Chain A
Amino acid sequence: MTRRLLGILLELALPVALVAGYWVWSEQADNFYFPPFGEILDYFRELWLFDRVGSDLAPSLLRMLAGYGMSIVIGVSLGVLLGMSRVLRTAAEPVVEFLRALPAPALIPFSLLMFGAGDGSKIFVIVLGSVWPILLNSIDGVRGVDAQQLDMARAYQIPLTARVTRIILPAASPRIFAGMRTSLAIAIILMVVSEMVASSNGLGYFVLESQRSFAIPDMWTGIILLGLLGYVLNWLFLRVENRVLLWHRGVRGLLPAARTGAGDRGRATAATTAPAAPHPPSSTLSSSEKSDA
């Protein structure tokens, strides 16, 4: 117990020291660019509880979620398509490689021309930047599906839709989630960048405008809020991923053996979820057998 406590203290020591150090230094330094920490906190309370939440935070988050959601849908569906067809994959490869390598902010002028200065152009930039990790990981995930399972499904004449939803997607989901995690960070970055160019609200706009009008503490509150946002969204994503992929970790035996409670739950979920992946649904199976007979 004391060991664990010591460990937690050890982990918290550096962050606390950094914050305290900045606090002490900034109180007496009187630096224009680095205002006292107490002042930043005051401004933070004033601005973000909950004065500007509706005007800046909410539009930003909505745009980001819209773009992120669209890139998940596009990335996974295109990825399954390209992963299943060698011809399409080969034909699309150079275009995909080029668009992936293209820095998404370079497309902001293009999307401004195409969609105007509203939400559409920002969502477009977010989609165009964050779709690639999901797409590439989906392709790899689909290609990594156990060939034996696919042959089995084909031999039992499982229809294509069932093959995709019951075999390919579950088997590819760990890779898809890996891509989605990368994309989340990119989506947040592009949310901020797209708001820094030709925008009238949003967090990126707020931070840049504060800097331009030399409202330094305001700018710092925006930066801190963005940091917190990135951290919280990442944490939420990890929670969701853990929940959704619990069966996968259970199958692979990656669950920590020490936490028996969690381990049992993992095994139970593995028993209920995993068979959906490797085995074809029983009803389709029996009907196809009948038709064969």
Chain B
Amino acid sequence: MIERTTVRRPSLTLQRSRHELDRTLFRRVTAFGPRAVPVSVEGTASAASAGPRERGTPPPGAAQGASRLRRLAERRRVRDLGLRVAGVLTVLSALELCSRVGLLSQDWFPPVTETYAELGRLAAGHPLWTEIGRTLNGWLVGIVIATLLAVPIGVLLGSNNTAYRFSRVVIEFCRPIPSVALIPLAVLVYGVGLEMKVFLIVFVTFWPILLQVIYGVRDVDPLVQDTARSYGLPPSARFLRVTLPSAAPYIATGLRIASSIALVLAVTAELVVGAPGLGQSIVVAQSNALLPRMYALIIVTGLVGWALNSVFQAIERRLLRWHPSQRREVAQ
């Protein structure tokens, strides 16, 4: 073993350097990868994923270097966690201080500690979870219906240019319409309840999903498609093996955007017209002058939104590990 390596040293180093070259090239390419995928409307290439510039990039020639790198990364992770906690604590204690000192009047801004105590009491009781369930119920039904409608139509419009041009003006016109303008109409037609919420959510989340699907389907690499066609793959197989996987990241982004819009709409509908749910209970708490409860409920709403967003991001990352837009994070 040893003799061999000593004999072949030149070629081995050559190989290693070429391997290194490959690695750096790969890093370059993958660093540009995500930018090629339009991050779509929201553009939330999450702030968590550190850019390629900030990663320590010493060439890990030996196992020793790699372990040092890992230790460094570990230390950095701990420090980042500390920074995050410190950031949250700073904001919370600043608010607490402002309220206690009287910079923010206690009439309308109770100390944060009281809000959190109320939050604890609420979380122990039953009604809070019922309200969350009501809000999420409308959210879920709306998203599912919108997805079931938007994906087939998007695939159709994306794969057929005539159909796309036929419907382009309608899509472009309906998309920027402020969704909430339809709340009165929805109340008239469906009354105050789940149907109204679902109608609003479906109408509004339909467009971002549709657009993402259309872009995704149109963005399939023509070379891959031609190859599949020249190998005689039937249309159904072409769709399942080429079009759908290639459009999947776009669809996932569309769903994530739709999820946050749907939550906004659900809360708005509850707040404005009083459909049962988190938004309505915020209004009730406010009109009963239960301020800590109101703030606790607002915090709960934010947490629900944050949790939904995180879940969608995690699913996206998990399902699309193979896609270049996600691969960078796994590679490093």
Q: If the complex has contacts A106-B279, A185-B176, are A136 and B166 also in contact, measured as CB distance less than 8 A?
A: no
Whether the Cβ atoms of B87 and A211 lie closer than 8 Å is no
- A33-66 contacts to B, CB under 8 A, are 33
**How many angstroms between the C-alpha atoms of A211 and B45 in the bound complex?**
41
Q: Tell me whether A109 and B86 are in contact (CB under 8 A).
A: no
**What is the bound-complex CA distance between A110 and B104, given in angstroms?**
13
Stretch from B14-22, B180-188, B217-225, B243-251 forming part of the interface with A:
B180-188
B294-317 CB mask vs A (1 if < 8 Å, else 0) is 110110011101101100000000
- Interface residue tally on B, bucketed by range: 35 or more
The 8 Å CB contact of B91, one of A95, A106, A222, is A95
Q: In the complex the two chains form, is B181's CB within 8 Å of A207's CB?
A: yes
Which chain B residues lie closer than 8 Å to A29 at the CB level? none
Identify which of A106, A136, A181 contacts B278 (C-beta below 8 A). A106
| Contacting pair A136 B47 (CB below 8 A) | yes
| Interface 9-mer from A191-199, A242-250, A275-283 | A191-199
- Given A94-B87, A98-B302, A11–B180 Cβ distance below 8 Å? no
Contact B166 A13 (CB under 8 A): yes
Task: Pick the contact of B87: A92, A143, A229 (CB < 8 A).
Answer: A92
Bound Cα distance from A234 to B294, whole angstroms: 35
Closest Cβ neighbor of A102 among chain B residues: B302
8 Å CB interface, B92-145 against A: 108-109
Q: Are A193 and B187 in contact (CB under 8 A)?
A: no
Tell me the interface secondary structure of chain A in the complex.
helix
Query: In the assembled complex, which residues on chain B have CB atoms less than 8 Å from the CB atom of A11?
Result: 165-166, 168-169
Contact with A along B6-46 (1 / 0, CB 8 A): 00000000000000000000000000000100010111110
- Contact A192/B178 with A91-B84, A94-B84, A136-B43 known, Cβ cut-off 8 Å: yes
Q: How far is the CA of A28 from the CA of B183 in the complex (A)?
A: 26
Chain B residues with CB under 8 Å of A92's CB are 87
Q: Is the pair B87, A105 in contact by a Cβ cutoff of 8 Å?
A: no
Chain A residues near B156 (CB, 8 Å)?
none
Is B264 interfacial (CB 8 A cutoff)? yes
Contacts of B109 in A (CB 8 A): 113-114
Closest A residue to B286 using CB positions: A109
A15: chain B residues within 8 A (beta carbon): 169-170, 173
Count, chain A residues at interface, CB 8 A: 74
Q: Are A89 and B184 in contact (CB under 8 A)?
A: no
Chain A residues in 8 Å Cβ range of B167: 14
In the assembled complex, A253 has its CB within 8 A of some CB on chain B: no
- Could you say which of B108, B283, B297 contacts A113, with CB atoms under 8 Å apart? B108
Interface centre among B181, B272, B278 (most CB of A within 10 A): B181
Q: Is the CB of A90 within 8 A of B83?
A: yes
Q: Is B53 an interface residue (CB 8 A)?
A: yes
Does B48 interact with chain A (Cβ within 8 Å)?
Answer: yes
Q: Tell me how far the C-beta of A192 lies from the nearest C-beta in chain B, rounded to whole angstroms.
A: 5
Given A91-B84, A105-B268, do A219 and B185 touch, yes or no (CB 8 Å)? yes
The answer, yes or no, to whether A12 is at the interface (CB within 8 Å) is yes
Chain B residues positioned under 8 Å from A97 (CB to CB): 47, 306, 309
- Indicate which residue in B48, B84, B180, B294 contacts A192 across the interface (CB closer than 8 Å): B180
Chain B residues with CB below 8 A from A185, complex form: 176, 178
- Whether B43 and A192, one on each chain, are in contact in the complex, defined by CB atoms closer than 8 angstroms, is no
Residues of B within 8 A of A182 (CB): 41-43
A184 to chain B, nearest CB (A): 9
A120 contacts the other chain (CB 8 A) = no
Residues of A within 8 A of B286 (CB): 109, 112-113
Partner among A87, A89, A109, A229 whose Cβ is within 8 Å of the Cβ of B47: A89
Shortest CB-to-CB span from A190 to chain B, Å, is 9
Q: Is residue A86 within 8 Å, beta carbon to beta carbon, of the partner chain?
A: yes
Q: What's the Cα separation between A91 and B303 when bound, in Å?
A: 18
Q: Which residues of the other chain, B, contact A197 by a CB distance below 8 angstroms?
A: 271-272
Per-residue interface assignment for chain A, residues 199 to 236, with 1 indicating a CB less than 8 Å from any chain B CB and 0 otherwise: 00001100110111000100100110011011101100
Any B CB within 8 A of the CB of A5: no
Is B54 an interface position by the 8 A CB rule?
yes
The answer for the CA separation of A262 and B287 in the assembled complex, in Å, is 58
Q: Residue on A with the closest CB to B45? A: A140
Q: Which of A83-126 contact B (CB under 8 A)?
A: 86-87, 89-99, 101-110, 112-114
How far is A77 from B231 in the complex, measured between Cα atoms in Å? 54
B201 contacts the other chain (CB 8 A): no
Does A7 lie at the interface of the complex (its beta carbon under 8 Å from any beta carbon of B)?
A: yes
Please tell me if B194 contacts chain A, counting CB pairs below 8 Å.
no
**Minimum distance in angstroms from A208 CB to a CB of chain B:** 6
Q: List 8 A-B contacts (CB under 8 A).
A: A18-B170, A93-B84, A105-B272, A106-B297, A113-B291, A144-B51, A196-B272, A231-B173
Given contacts A93-B87, A196-B183, 10 further A-B contacts (CB under 8 A): A15-B170, A91-B84, A91-B87, A103-B302, A109-B286, A110-B295, A136-B44, A140-B43, A182-B42, A188-B178
Interface residues of chain A, those whose CB is within 8 Å of chain B, are: 7, 10-15, 18, 33, 86-87, 89-99, 101-110, 112-114, 133, 136-137, 139-140, 143-144, 147, 175, 178-179, 181-182, 185, 188-189, 191-193, 196-197, 203-204, 207-208, 210-212, 216, 219, 222-223, 226-227, 229-231, 233-234
